[in-house]
């Protein structure tokens, strides 16, 4: 079974621009979660989607948004990029809710904002 696929692997953007990251979950997984990883804050929960519905959202500003499609693929969008948005963005899929079933992470998209 193919793992979680995230594209692109690397992105360089300028302050003020917007960016869209893509995630293809493991086949059959209906839950997709997004996390931001930085050296200072570690792994922080952004949001979770299940069957195209956002179930929960972490403590991030409204510039961070996402969606999930009927095939469970998910996209994350960050508008009006700030320098502090530079991070590794990780997508994770799970069969059921992410709260108590194993999360399978992709290798992430490394976003650099200049």
Partner 1 sequence: QQQVKQSPQSLIVQKGGISIINCAYENTAFDYFPWYQQFPGKGPALLIAIRPDVSEKKEGRFTISFNKSAKQFSLHIMDSQPGDSATYFCAASETGGGADGLTFGKGTHLIIQP
33 binds partner 1 (CB under 8 A): yes
Q: Single out the segment in contact with partner 1 by CB under 8 A; choices: 14-22, 54-62, 69-77, 79-87.
A: 54-62
Cis ω before 13 (30° cut-off from 0)? no
The sign of the torsion formed by the CA atoms of 37, 67, 96, 107 equals negative
Contact 93, 32 (CB under 8 A): yes
Measured from the CB atom, the residue of 18 and 52 that comes closer to partner 1 is 52
Residues whose CB is less than 8 angstroms from the CB of residue 21 and which lie 6 or more positions away in sequence, other chains included: 6, 7, 8, 11, 75, 76, 77, 78, 89, 91, 109, 111
Q: Does 102 bind partner 1 (CB under 8 A)?
A: yes
Shortest CB 13 distance to partner 1, Å: 21
**Binding flag, residue 30, partner 1 (CB under 8 A):** no
Applying CB under 8 A, does 87 fall inside the site for partner 1?
Answer: no
100 forms part of the interface with partner 1 (CB under 8 A): yes
Give the binding site for partner 1 (CB under 8 A): 4, 33, 35, 42-45, 47-48, 55-58, 90, 92, 97-100, 102-108
């Amino acid at each position: 079974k193919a793992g979680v696929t995230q594209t692109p692997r690397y992105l360089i953007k300028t302050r003020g621009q917007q960016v869209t990251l893509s995630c293809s979950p493991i086949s059959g997984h209906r839950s997709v979660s997004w996390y931001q990883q930085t050296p200072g804050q570690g792994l922080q929960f952004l949001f979770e989607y299940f069957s195209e519905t956002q179930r929960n959202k972490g403590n991030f500003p409204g510039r961070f948004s996402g969606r999930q499609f009927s095939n469970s693929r998910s996209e994350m969008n960050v508008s009006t990029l700030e320098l502090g948005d530079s991070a590794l963005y990780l997508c994770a899929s799970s069969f059921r809710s992410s709260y108590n079933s194993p999360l399978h992470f992709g290798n992430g998209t490394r976003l650099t904002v200049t």
